[in-house]
Amino acid sequence: MKRNQFYKNIYITICMFIMIFLSTFMFYSVWLEFVIENNQTGHLTGLGNLGMAVIIYTLLYTIIGNWIQTFSLDAGRKANVIAGQVLTLFTVNIIEVLISMAITGQFRFLFEFTFRYFILFLVQSFVLCVLDNYMINLMRYLFKPLDIIEIYGKPNQLLAKISGIPFKYHVVDSIHYSVGEDKLEEIVKNADSILINDVPARVENHLVKMCFRYNRQCHLVPKISDIIIKSSSEINVVDTPIYVCKNKGLSLSERILKRAFDIILSGLSLIFLSPVFILTAIAIKLEDNGPVFFRQERSSLGGERFWILKFRSMIVDAEKDGRSIPAGENDPRITKVGKIIRAFRIDELPQLVNILFGDMSIVGPRPERVEHVEKYSAMITEFTFREKVKGGLTGYAQVFGKYNTTALDKLKLDLIYITNYTPLLDLQIIFETIKILVRKDSTEGFSQQRVQEIKEMDDSEDYIQ
């Protein structure tokens, strides 16, 4: 299996270089055509300038592509990789318009550069997306998925999730940890990879050490304390290593920078998206003459309450009995306009007003309904940890989870964001948000069976975890 992974990594690296070469070559063809037509001073066709243009484009595409995981052909679904490719090319060519004007020193070429690079973007997107599809299919044909053995404690949905990615994982067996230490050691010695799923801390500690001893890959589901510890800094007190968990949320400088970013981005977005606001409002009003907006009390930083704004996507009084009922698949309460605006996340856009007024941030944990916070906190005492930062329009749990991800998993994802916050992470989440617009499963509702279970259980632990 190690050799299989080794050759797979070589294959992915070769594919990356092919993509870099093709994208840069297509750019070079466009740039060379431009400089030949407009080289009035003669300096643009020099090898130094041509080489500089190629190097800049290559670096941009490589850095942004790695950042958005464009080259991670085995990281996830094919649609996500292709979306990353398109987003990378779009971002690189937008930046290249500005760089090209700087190189020529002529603002009058703005329209020409924009037109040329837009055509370049379309051609690159077609060629490289077709190539991505072929490369991924070939990779899945040539290299078998990772053989993995699950060692579990309390049964949950993780095994079903992993089994749903057959091109990446092959579950060889699923074994309860109660078989004993000798049997577990034998399993680890003969396995390619181990999945440690919700076992007691003592057993998890023993399994991790055994995997390290026998050089076996180890996958484990982190506990909340694991996530907090992972972000700690390391110090040495004389000869003793110590991990320091600061646990303070965002620093003052980070809060100021984040707030400035929120004001600028939300203000510009409200201006540029105003036609979308107007058309959506008209469509909602014309369908049933009901209110355009939907207001709901939510909880954010430090438990502070505010009224969140959304475009109404359901019938009026969809929750007239006062109970929260999750949206199911083909939910009859969702209007025709609602189906469209939900699919493209347009229903969330009015929250830009909340962001501008300081109730929310562009990126952060999704602000929950007040009653949900009370219910979840009763079941998961750490649930309020996510309120160390402002709630966000998008967030780590939104881009790496789903609409129907459990409250416990969303909490873990949000804590990963909070404990590892940087301005660059915010920017990366924004890019990831654009990518997931093509993923149906990120907006899918609960199945009708699951909705019925929630109605019946309401406050049960199963709904939470």
Closest CA to 131 of 71, 67, 62, 65: 71
Share of residues in the chain with pLDDT > 90 (%):
49
Q: Which helix (H) or strand (E) segment is 110 a member of?
A: helix 110-142
* 53 contact partners, CB below 8 Å, separation of at least 6: 28, 31, 100, 103
What's the whole-model pTM score? 0.83
User: For the segment 46-66, what is each residue's pLDDT rounded down to a tens digit?
Assistant: 677 788 889 999 999 999 999
Are 169 and 148 spatial neighbours (Cβ–Cβ below 8 Å)?
A: yes
Rounded to an integer, the average pLDDT of 417-443 is 82
Residues of the chain with CATH 3.40.50.11060: 146-221
DSSP bridge pairs for 382: none
**What mean pLDDT, rounded, does the chain reach?**
86
Give residue 323's pLDDT band: very low, low, confident or very high (50, 70, 90). Answer: low
DSSP state of 324: -
* 86 contact partners, CB below 8 Å, separation of at least 6: 125, 129
Share of residues in the chain with pLDDT > 70 (%):
88
Domain 146-221 in CATH 3.40.50.11060: yes
Are 396 and 231 spatial neighbours (Cβ–Cβ below 8 Å)?
A: no
More confident residue, 340 or 331: 340
User: For the segment 35-50, what is each residue's pLDDT rounded down to a tens digit?
Assistant: 887 766 556 666 777 8
Residue type, 425: L
Helix, strand or coil for residue 447?
coil
Residue type, 392: G
Predicted pLDDT of residue 180: 87
Rounded to an integer, the average pLDDT of 320-336 is 69
Angle CA 173–178–179, to nearest 5: 60
Residue type, 156: N
Within 10 angstroms of residue 161's Cβ, the number of other Cβ atoms is 10
Are 147 and 123 spatial neighbours (Cβ–Cβ below 8 Å)?
A: no
Closest CA to 435 of 387, 386, 400, 463: 400
User: For the segment 134-156, what is each residue's pLDDT rounded down to a tens digit?
Assistant: 999 999 999 988 889 999 988 88
Q: How far apart are CA 89 and CA 27, in angstroms?
A: 11
Give residue 391's pLDDT band: very low, low, confident or very high (50, 70, 90). Answer: very high
The full length of the chain comes to 465
DSSP bridge pairs for 293: 311
User: For the segment 178-217, what is each residue's pLDDT rounded down to a tens digit?
Assistant: 998 889 999 999 898 999 998 888 999 999 999 999 999 9
Predicted pLDDT of residue 100: 86
